[in-house]
Structure 1
Amino acid sequence: MSERSYADECGAALALDAVGERWALLIVRELMFGPKRFADLRLGLPQASQNVLSQRLKELEGAGVIQRVKLGPPARAQVYELTSAGVALEPAVVALAQWGARLDVHHGSKMSADSLALLLKALYRPAGPSAVSVALQLGDDEFAIHLDSDAIQIKRGAAREPDAVLRGTVQSWWDVLFGSVDVDASLDTGVIEITGDRAAADQFLESFPAPGIFTGTGSLVDRVAG
């Protein structure tokens, strides 16, 4: 917990004492889908200095939100992961992402792979009654995604026997899913790649707001409603 406090017994104030400092909730975002090394957290949060990131990790660990664990062979690395208290923040982080989509503010900066994964979770709307599993490979980052009629589940790591595999960069999939770039045009140019069951891939693609919602002016919600 930060040395600064609201000194207020309200649950919201107590929560902000624990996770309200700058970068704190974005660290939670980066760990929502699986553990990460310090170096990987820096890649996902390039605007946070090494000292600030180290301080926030220390504070979150002190608040019981994250913990350090050592991976066995072959990795033999120390990683940070969410505790059960940290995992309990997921609905709040998803709700913040949904709320933020209402704001007409666009920085034009690059998204991390976990930012894209959070957006998928926040904006998911089932497109079919059947459950499908896809592997989303974004360079060195890979996510196992399971879709069904009720929810979307996303975990960092390789998917076991996915129905379809989607490959590309964070930017290329952002452009296809939420921009104005046509999926077939991207496939033709090799910017993205889809292998496996195309019907499963199409169900994934149709499970999010129509392409183009992040182009032009106005909030995401306004553009979806329009």
Structure 2
Amino acid sequence: MPRRSYDQYCAVARALDAVGDRWTLLIVRELLGGSRRYTDLHADLPGVSTDMLASRLKDMERDGLVTRRRLAPPGASFVYELTPRGRALLPALTALADWGAPALAERRATDAVRAHWFAVPLIARLAGHFAAEDVGVVDIALDEGEFHVDLDVEAPGYAEGPAENPDVRLRMSTVTCTDIADGRLSLAQAIADGRVAVTVPGAADGEGQRKQTTAV
């Protein structure tokens, strides 16, 4: 079936032709964290039906946003990953996250949450905070899980789980992370207030733990 189009000679309309459907940008959010199997995507997109997810992935392949490849044995399963055009949507998602962050003031009882969903709005905040330091990879631990962000200027991104060799580890509550992501609280102030525990892996004893406190 041909995909619907706004049929407008406009850059915004053309962009929405490709990414304006429900779930598409959230799939991009997941794939910004690296290659994912279909089952992994479905698990981290609560509420999407299997038919809808399959349909969206086909549309995104057709539009050149994602590719599908088979892993080498013994895995031999298929994974989806973003193309360069798909990864180029990171600034758009960052802008949407900044715009939508104030709506996170109160978490609803029906709201699902994954730790790595905070990665996109945090990348720019962390890049600004660590701009004068030699920090490239930052681990972030929340009660819901752990993820890490890569602050590489040319190819910023994130991935689930701890990094193998992070430059800095941050531990905080989801409330604190939300405040930082929203811009209501700077990371510097959160550290000063004792709301973030900062660890520098590999530093000498007494220097590795910049701030040891209970994250709240």
TM-score by length of structure 1 reads 0.68
Matched, 1:121 2:123: yes
Provide closer, same or farther for how the CA distance between residues 152 and 141 of structure 1 changes in structure 2, counting only shifts above 3 A. Answer: farther
The answer on 1:163 being equivalent to 2:158 is: no
Q: CA deviation at 1:103?
A: 4.5
Gaps of 5+ in 1: 188-192, 204-210, 213-226
Report the residue type matching 2:149 in the other structure: I
Counterpart residue type for residue 162 of structure 1: P
Taking a change above 3 Å as real, the CA distance of residues 143 and 154 of structure 1, as seen in their structure-2 partners, is farther
| Correspondent of 2:113 among 106, 111, 114 | 111
CA deviation map 1:158-217 (0-9, x unaligned)? 5342234457xxxx6423423699996898xxxxx96735867769xxxxxxx99xxxxx
CA distance in 1, matches of 2:105, 2:194: 29
Does 1:60 find its partner at 2:48? no
Query: Scaled by the length of structure 2, what TM-score is found?
Result: 0.70
2:178 matched to which residue of 1? 178
Contact 1:98 1:122 in 2 (8 A): no
Describe the SS at the equivalent of 1:126.
helix
SS in 1 for 2:119: helix
What is the aligned length?
Answer: 195
In the alignment, what sits opposite 2:96?
96
CA distance in 2, matches of 1:78, 1:154: 22
Could you say which residue in structure 2 is the equivalent of 1:9? 9
Gaps of 5+ in 2: 180-184
Instruction: Provide the residue aligned with 1:190 in structure 2.
Output: none
Q: Distance in 1 between matches of 2:138 and 2:115?
A: 16
**Structure 1 counterpart of 2:97, one-letter code:** A
Match of 2:182 in 1: none
Partner SS for 2:98? helix
Q: 1:47 to 1:92 in 2, by over 3 A?
A: same
Is the Cα–Cα contact under 8 Å of residues 66 and 81 in structure 1 kept in the other structure? yes
Does structure 1 conserve the Cα–Cα contact (< 8 Å) formed by 2:67 and 2:81? yes
CA–CA distance in structure 1, aligned partners of residues 154 and 50 of structure 2: 36
For 1:36, the equivalent position in structure 2 comes to: 36
Of stretches 99-108 and 43-52 in structure 1, the one that deviates more from structure 2 is 99-108
SS of residue paired to 1:177: helix
Tell me how large the CA RMSD over aligned residues is. 3.9
Q: Distance in 1 between matches of 2:129 and 2:209?
A: 11
- Distance in 2 (CA, whole Å) between partners of 1:30 and 1:63 is 18
Partner Cα separation in structure 2 for residue 10 and residue 151 of structure 1 = 28
1:31 to partner: Cα distance = 0.6
Quote the Cα distance in structure 2 between the aligned partners of 1:123 and 1:164: 15
Q: Percent identity over the alignment?
A: 36
